[in-house]
Amino acid sequence: MPVVFDTGALLRPRFQPDAFTATKWDTAEVKAKFANDLCRFMAADFKDSLFTKALYQRLSMCFGHIAHYNREGFFGEFFRDLRGKVDFLEQTLAWRCFGDPEYTYSDVEAAVSSRLRSCNLLAAYRALRAAEVENAEREMLRRLQQKYDGDNAPRVASTPILHPGVPPRTASRKATPEQQTALF
């Protein structure tokens, strides 16, 4: 069953500068561009060519993410496979947007998080990851069944080869006084 979700909801409407507060270092236009670029990157299934140096530099300082030493390390950690994408979205959505928007990108973080929640991108990626795991497990099961149930596979006995059997009965003896005190 295919997983269908609308990534266009991440892109529409575009973020406008008047939705953000300028900082001492960045204008509201720069903040809006980052928000739009990040949503475009996520909507395009985290396409490598859209993960620019500028996007990496800002993203590595937002949502509690760390730089992972460089752009390639960050990309490899989060965007090479479905497991990483799910981790990225979970960490991004779990982030509580701290700080004053005059000094941080907390207003951008809140706006992007709201978009992510409304389009339910995390649920879609979780479904894709679950299908990936299930397919891998089913393939492993198929290979194991072929290996052990194939025409040339030896048949395994229904009972274990090493069997402890029934322990022999021993005559019961009364404990000596020394043994009785050791037990208590």
Rounded to the nearest 10°, the torsion over CA 37, 40, 44, 46 is 40
pLDDT number for residue 4: 63
Q: How far apart are CA 9 and CA 25, in angstroms?
A: 30
The list of the chain residues with pLDDT below 50 reads 157, 159-165
The pLDDT value recorded for residue 177 is 63
Identify the pLDDT of residue 175.
Answer: 63
Sign, CA dihedral 133-137-143-146, equals negative
